[in-house]
Amino acid sequence: MSFKQFIPEIQEEWDAYWKKTSVEDELGLIKTDGLRPIFAKLLTKKGKILEAGCGLGKWIITLSRQGYNIQGVDTNQYALKKLKKHFPDAKAKIADVQDLPFPDETFDAYLSLGVVEHFEEGPEKALREAYRVLKKGGVAFIEVPFDSPLRKLARAWTRTVPVIKTPARVLLELLGVRKKKEKIKMRFYEYRYTRQELESFVKKAGFKKIKIYPKDDLSDQRSIALWLDYQKLQKSEGKMFELNKRGSLVKRMLEAISPLTYCALIVAVARKS
């Protein structure tokens, strides 16, 4: 069963997220994005590419400038307006990745980068649409959060600590020494998948020849996984994903073992036969 990640109900929705996110910062992160070598190896400038769930369109801007024929769709109108303000030539429109407004076998490549994990009902419908709009021989790139061994270990620890502390906390609350802890309302945010789970979903949609790649930032000074999950490894007053010296050392040690021990994301590359 895929791991469900919840966040506080009061946490901002997508409009607020895109309003505070800079297109320039997004483009800056692409310089060391782990997808770059994968795209360089497998994407072709001859075919048509769709990014399903493009957000601010950092890949649409980057790949368009490199000569690729790419267009995007997203359900967030604010994000698309911000994209077109920064890059007026962007080919992007409002559409649902679970019900795409394109005929069968329209595209040679399909990009889904951090999208399908947000559907609580599961990724199946979006992946079936990906398969439908791809031409035979077309390739899909499906990036999702990874339930890594490090994340599983950290989760086991965070579950153990409350069990140890709970009896003492309850006693202090009964004695009136400590105020009773209020429960925070939570809502579903995303799934985190194992390699086997992602491969199973992609196969179920009809794809063949599936290869799973680990993905993190390529720079020694940045890490998506370590920055997101370990506040003490973040660089003080640094930009997104920037690590302090301890964080950079931890990343190098984990990389020496295997990126799959800690990486935040995995990418399934699959072909339509």
Its pTM stands at: 0.91
How far is Cα 86 from Cα 89, in angstroms, rounded to an integer?
9
Residue 238: predicted pLDDT: 85
Q: What is the pLDDT of residue 176?
A: 57
Buried b (16+ CB within 10 A) or exposed e, 244-261: eeebbebbeebbeeebbb
Low pLDDT (below 70) residues in the chain: 160-182
The answer to whether the CB of 228 falls within 8 A of the CB of 108 is: no
DSSP state of 9: T
Q: What pLDDT is recorded for position 19?
A: 86
CA distance 106 to 100: 11
**pLDDT tens figures, 47-82:** 999 999 999 999 999 999 999 999 999 999 999 999
Structure tokens at 76: 């967030």
In sign, the C-alpha dihedral spanning 187, 26, 111, 251 is negative
Q: Tell me, what's the pLDDT at 160?
A: 66
Name the strands in the sheet holding 208-215, side by side, starting at the edge strand that comes first in the sequence.
92-94, 69-74, 48-52, 107-113, 134-145, 265-271, 208-215
Q: Give yes or no for a contact between 80 and 92, defined as CB atoms under 8 angstroms apart.
A: yes
Q: Domains of the chain by range and CATH? A: 3-152+182-271 (3.40.50.150)
Alpha helices in 107-211 (DSSP H): 124-133, 149-174, 195-204
